[in-house]
Amino acid sequence: MDSALVVERFGLGEDVRGWLAQAEALPGAGLSVPVGVEAERVWGLFALAEADRVEVAGLWPGEGDGGWPPELWYLVDLMCRRLWADRDLPVGEWRSWPSLVEVEDARVRMVSLVAFAAMVPEQFARHASLGIDESVTVATLADVGVQVARSRRLFGWLSVETAAWVAAQFRGRLYWVGGLQLEPARLGAPGSVPWYSEEEAAGWGPGMGVGDAVLRLHIPTGGLDPVSVDGALARARGFAREHLGMDPVVATCTSWLLDPYWGEVLGEGSNIVRFQRRFTLVGEGSSGEGDVFRFVFGMARVDVGAAPRRTRLDRAVVERLESGGGLRVCTGWLPLS
C-alpha cells in the first residue's frame, strides 16, 4: 500500500498528501482498533452525543476488515503511527493533524476517531505511569465528544474538524483538571502564543523567561463558573509538579474571552468579565471575529447578517461589528501558587 493511493482514492488535498508521506516513514505502532463491546466502551469514554454515537456505530469497522477498503485501513495505520511516534513529543513542540472535514466519504471524515480509539489503552497506561488519577483521564477523553459535536454544529455532518486539538491529548498536551484544561508548554516557543521579548520577560522575574515552563489554560464549553475556575487554578501548579515534571510559575490563556471589549459591554457580573480580570494582557492581540462566530454562534464563517441576537453577548457581538469595530483574540497571564 502507498499513501498516494489513499490520496487518490478519497480525493485528499496536497497538505494531507505531505502529512501522510511523513507518517509513512514512521515504524508501525501495533495498535488495535476496538470493535464490538470494546468500541462501545470507548464511544462512552469519548462522551459522544447521541446523534454522533449512532452515526459512528453505523460506520465503525467490525471484525476482520470490517467492510472497509484497504486504502481506508492504511489511513488508520498511518494515523496510528503518527500518534505512537508522538507519544513522547517534547513540551513546546506542536504537530499538525488533518481535519478531513470536507471529504465526501463519511468514514474518512471520522477515521481520526478510529485512530484515537486505538490509543485509548495507551492513554490510560501513560497517565497511570505519571500518577494521574483515572478521573482526570476520563474527563480528558470526554473532550473528544465535545469536539465532534462542535464539528457537527459548524458543518452539519459527522467530522472532527479540530482533530489536531484532539490529537494533542494523546501526545500529553491536554489534561482536563477541574474546571479548566491544562496544556504544558514553554513561554515564547517558536510559533506559539505571544510573549514578552527576552529583555521584557527578564524584568518580570524567575520563571517568566522565554523557554520557561508554562501551563496554557483552555476553557471547556460552559466552564467559566468562578468557583470552578478557582478550584482548577488552585490545583494547576501542584498537578504540573507532581505529574508532568515541570514547575510553572505562570499560566497563560489565549482566547476571544480576553478581549477588553467585553468588560465595556457585559458588566462586572458577567463570568466572562470575571474571568478576564484575572489576567495581565500581553500585546494587542489579533483578529478574533472568526473565533467569536465559531464559539458564540456555532458558525464556521463570519456572517453578521445571519448571526442571532438572543443573548446580551450575541447582541454585543453584532452591534460591535455593525458599528465598524473589531473583536480580538488576546493573550494574558496570571501567577500560579
Q: Indicate the helix (H) or strand (E) that contains 46.
A: helix 36-46
Q: Encode pLDDT of 180-223 as tens digits.
A: 999 999 998 666 688 999 899 989 999 999 999 999 999 988 77
* Strands of 175-177's sheet in order across: 175-177, 180-186, 213-218, 250-255, 328-335, 280-287
Do 257 and 180 form a contact (C-beta atoms < 8 A)? Answer: no
Q: Encode pLDDT of 3-35 as tens digits.
A: 999 999 999 999 999 999 999 999 999 999 999
Do 284 and 328 form a contact (C-beta atoms < 8 A)? Answer: yes
Do 118 and 108 form a contact (C-beta atoms < 8 A)? Answer: no
Residue 1 pLDDT: 86
pTM of the model: 0.94
CA distance 314 to 154: 17
Q: Encode pLDDT of 104-161 as tens digits.
A: 999 999 999 999 999 999 999 999 999 999 999 999 999 999 999 999 999 999 999 9
